[in-house]
Copies of this chain bind each other. A is one copy, B any other.
């Protein structure tokens, strides 16, 4: 092995980066392999990579590999982490911030089939013989509204929000009465939401959803 300068090693690595066909995630070959193919020692390569990392050209992570570009901000909280950090009132606040905007989009983009499905869910929620079944149809209604936004990312975020919500409220079943009363506040509120969506009234849908969720929040506070 002929000794070459640090600068020459750095140049070889830069040249490699400029010409190599890397996979989509920008992952470089493992250090040991790259050192071999560039005909430099691993120590020298590591020195060069450290320089490039400090310049934001590559980032490295033990066990994962070396990648082009800046290190991604690793702030993605998975569901469990979100569940550990939040609480029912915070979930309600997040819903009040987020779901009216989903309903607004749904009013603009829902298909007739989706509106029909919302109506069906709404009716089934009203006729539900148990709280459990009411909540199933309630969940289905809200998710159909998310689907009606025709934005898979909004739907994904809504699903994430609902997963956290269920985990935070898990096990809190209502035992009395057995089913929702005939004048359960959500029934009329659901009707207003779906009507505004069917009318293509974005602002109306957002407002109706916000009122509904504020009502749910208020009832939740009454139970604390």
Contact = CB atoms under 8 A, between A and B. Distances in A.
Given A97-B102, A101-B97, A82 B154 contact: no
Given A132-B70, A160-B77, A171 B26 contact: yes
A157 interface: yes
Contact of A139 (B73, B90, B139, B160): B73
Contact of A159 (B77, B149, B153): B77
B153 A82 contact: yes
Identical subunits present: 2
A121 B105 CA distance: 31
Contacts of A133: 56
Contacts of A98: 98, 101, 154, 157
Given A86-B152, A143-B73, A162-B73, A94 B157 contact: yes
Interface in A60-78: 69-70, 72-73, 75-77
5 closest Cβ pairs, A-B complex: A77-B156, A94-B153, A82-B156, A85-B152, A97-B101
